[in-house]
Structures are given as structure tokens and as C-alpha cells.
Structure 1
Amino acid sequence: MKDDKLFTAYIKSAEHHFSGWDFSYITDTGRMQSELLPWSYGSMAATLVQNCDAFLDMGTGGGEFLSKLRPFPEVAWATEAYPPNVPIAAKRLEPLGVKVAQVEDDTTLPFDDNQFDVIINRHESYSPKEVRRIIKDGSIFLTQQVGGTDCIQINEALGVPANDEFAHWNLHFAAEELLQNGFKITYSNESYPAQRFYDIGALIYYLKAIPWQLEDFSVEKSLEKLYEIHTQIQSNGYFDVRQDRFVIKAEAI
């Protein structure tokens, strides 16, 4: 293992700086690729954002995705809970007319009752009750979520138990919560697309960016298991896992 120069080089490559919510270092280079979903959250979100008077993007990351949904209405807000991302998002979005608010608690958002006629949420936690408070009657909440079994094959390969905190989180549970909090579901779908890693460095880079997948992950602690995956990739050409995704479009009633 110590003499495997390719393995060492890939580990070194994973030290590349990660900021906002930008995986282009491994996606634009084709080192990690994902199977297509049967829906487009971006297409649905763009149509909603561009045809409303006031919208909120929950969990905007560094604003990378939202910045591509222009033009924006006069009232445009985004929230972000991860402190390092807030100035990144503000720098990107505020010149485009989007105000950015840092949040800490899903149940207490800094907005008025009935403030928005569109709320979008991509892979961000939320309180259905609080979303209902700040959205107008007849308005739309669109969310794409990561389910509780997401990429569980990584945990299995590294011998680390999956996080039980999210085991319940799936389309059925999320839809029932929204129904119980003043919404009706107008569209929903779920899918388990493949996510493929073509080198161990791409996998390590990915894991460093999403610490909730593996509690207290480090290369040193998982070195032997990582090397096993590396040899598998060298033999098969890739390492496949299964994502867990679902989408819900709900109308406030």
C-alpha cells in the first residue's frame, strides 16, 4: 500500500480546496458521475422562480445553483445555515438582487407570515410548520431531498454504520408531514440513481465535503478500506453506489 504511487497521488489530489457547494473539481473532470434522475428539479425551480413575485431558496450553499435561475423577481431571498458559505453566497447573489440570511434553526426563520409565493429547497432540512407559516395560501413549496439510504454502500465498504438519525427520511414520511401541516401534494417521485467514482481520490474528496455520511471520517483511520476500494476501481474501472433522491411539489392550502 505504501509503495502504491497511484494510490498516494489520488489521496494527495483529494486535498484540493472545497468551497460553497461546488463539486466541479470531480464532476467537470468526469472523476465522479451520477445517473440521470427521472425529473429535473432545475427545470421545475426555474419556472417557479421566474413566474412569481416573491421567492425563497432554502439552503442555497454558495449560491451556485440559484444564480443560474435568473431572472429573479423583486423580492428574492436565500438562506444558508453553514457559516462559511454565507459570505460566499452573499458575494454571488446579492449583486443579482437576492438577499442572503444566515439561519440556525429550521423552526424559526427570519421572515413574515405569508411572505412568499414560491419556496424552493434542494437538499436542505426544513420544518413543514415553519414553511407553511411563511408561504402564502395557494403558493408552491418545491423540494428535492436526499433520502436516508443515500450512498449507504460507501458505509458498507468502509465498515462504518449508516447514520440512524436519517433512517426514517423518505418520500412517504416527508409527504405525510407536509399533508399534516397544510399542504396538498401536486407531484412527487423518488429514484435511486447510481453514483460512480472513477478513482479513490474523487471518493475521498466527496466524503470530506459531506461529513454526515461518515462520522469522524479521516483517510488515516480508513486507509486499509480505502485501499481495498482503490484496488477494486483499478480492477473494475469504477466504484458504484446508489443515491437516494425524492422530490415533492406541494401547494399550501
Structure 2
Amino acid sequence: MIQDPIFWKYVKDAEQEFSGWNFSWVTDSGRMKVQPLSWNFEQMIVPHIRQSQSMLDMGTGGGEFLSSLQPFPPSIYATEAYAPNVPIAKERLEPLGVKVVQIDNDDYLPFTDQQFDLIINQHEAYSPSEVRRILQKDGWLMTQQVGGLNDQQINQHLHKPLNQEFIEWNLATAVAQLEKNHFEIVYRKEEFSTERFYDIGALLYYLKAIPWQIPNFQIEEHMDDLYAIHLLIQKQGYFEVKQHRFVIHAQAK
């Protein structure tokens, strides 16, 4: 049994409820910090939003990011696959004129052919062929994705393999899929940025929010490894990992 009251305080602390797609409980307090990417996804998409007439936000979470992008086009929809987020998104977005649609299959989106001239997608899975179907000719897909090598140092320290479902997901793979489905790639970039956790509670909170990083993660099964990370943080002040991100601007042809 680990005899360290500070460690156990942080473990208990991580039981804080997570909802929507909001990490402010650990980011605003400085317990977790992420090195900025060389691009700013919001600045990239806002000019396109201002020119759009019909827009879709894929994977809106709780609507936190989309709500910050006003004013909106005349027609705007948002999808969300994670059921607990849907009422949160509707409460936030529907008063702003956004139609929120729950989905459960990337290969079928409940929209008509060529319904949108702009689709934005931040960290959401998608089917290239289905996105092309609902996008108008010369319309834009603008996406920032989490790569398959994301946060791999967490898995290494907890002696868990990376999720094999996503391990090959990277810029080259995404570009090839989009080009195969009649998209022209106008801009692309891939980076590994630094992410630091300043206490073990922040890391546990983060793992709870992204269950695909270590599927079926249970604190009790990893107590010794977690304590080793805690001691590392106590020694050097932080636990550092690398985020895997890539961004693509693609135009339908």
C-alpha cells in the first residue's frame, strides 16, 4: 500500500466531473499546459465561415468551440456522436441558431447531397466519401486531427500498447484517403507539440476524458506506475508527453 497522502489527495481530486469537451478545470489552473502549434485552427477557419452559406461542424462536443466562432452562416448544423454531449451542445448552440444532430455512424450522415459549402472538423473521425457526398463542388473541408502517436509516452509509462485502431492515423494516410475521394489538398502540416502535467491528478482527469488513449483504464490496475509518475513530477516538476496533431485544408473537386 502506497503511504503518500499527497499522492492519494491527487487521486481523489481526479474524480472531478468532466462534461462536454472542456479541460478548463486543469488548464485554467495551470495544472496542465500544452505548447501552441505553429498554426491556429480558429484563425484558419474563421474567414471561410464568414463567406459560407451552409456550414457543418463535425464532432461539436458540448459546442464550446463552435459557439466562439459567431457570427454564423445562414444555415449551420453540428453533429455529435457521444450521447452525453448532445443535450449539452443543444443547450448551448440551439439558441444561437445551430441545428444539433446526434449521429452514430461516420459512413452515414443524415444530410442531403451537396448540402454544405464548408465542413469544419476538429479532432473528429470522418468518412472521406461521406464528407465528399454532402459537400458542394469547390466546397471546403478544414480539419485538425489527433494522430495515432498522440501521448504515446503515457502508454509507455503505464506499460500499455498504443491503441492499434488509430496507430496508422497520420497526415500521409489522411491525405491519401481524401485525394482518393476527389479532394485537392490545399494546405497540410503535421507536428508533435509538448504537453506537460504538473500533478498526477491532472493526468488522471485527462485520461478519464480521453478513454480511447488507454481503453478500459482502471486506476487500481496501474497504481505503481502512476505513483512512479507522481514521484517523477515531484522530482522534476512535471510529466512531459508529445501530442500528435495534423491539419488539412481540402477542396472538393
Q: 2:171 maps to what in 1?
A: 171
* Aligned amino acid, residue 94 of structure 1: E
- The residue aligned with 1:38 is 38
User: Take 2:214 and 2:142, find their aligned partners in 1: how far apart are those partners?
Assistant: 28
Return the alpha-carbon distance in structure 1 between the equivalents of residues 222 and 215 of structure 2: 12
Partner AA of 1:58 in structure 2: M
Q: Distance in 1 between matches of 2:203 and 2:45?
A: 29
1:9-88 pair list within 5 angstroms: 9-88=9-88
- Equivalent in the alignment of 2:215: 215
1:67-216 paired onto structure 2 within 5 Å: 67-216=67-216
Where does structure 1 lack aligned partners over 5 or more consecutive residues?
none
The amino acid across from 1:225 in the alignment is: D
TM-score (norm 1): 0.99
Percent of counterpart pairs with the same letter? 55
- Segments of structure 2 that go 5 or more residues without pairing to the other structure are none
Instruction: Give 1:12 shift.
Output: 1.1
- In structure 1, the residue corresponding to 2:165 is in which secondary structure? helix
Q: What is the CA distance between 1:17 and its match in structure 2? A: 0.6
- Superposition deviation, residue 50 in structure 1: 2.1
> Any idea what the Cα deviations from partners look like across 1:28-63, whole Å, max 9, x if unmatched?
111000011011111112222222101000000000
Note the alpha carbon deviations across 1:119-175, whole angstroms, 9 max, x for none. Answer: 000000000000000000011100000001000000000001111111110000000
Query: How far 1:80 sits from its partner (Å)?
Result: 0.1
Residue-by-residue CA offset, 1:52-109 (whole Å, 9 max, x unaligned):
1010000000000000000001100000000000010000000001000000001100
Aligned residue pairs total 253
CA distance in 1, matches of 2:90, 2:47: 23
Q: Which runs of 4+ in 1 moved over 2 A?
A: none
TM-score normalised over the length of structure 2: 0.99
Q: CA RMSD in A?
A: 0.7
* AA at the equivalent of 1:78: A
Whole-angstrom CA distance in 2 between matches of 1:215 and 1:224: 19
State the distance in 2 between where 1:221 and 1:167 align: 23
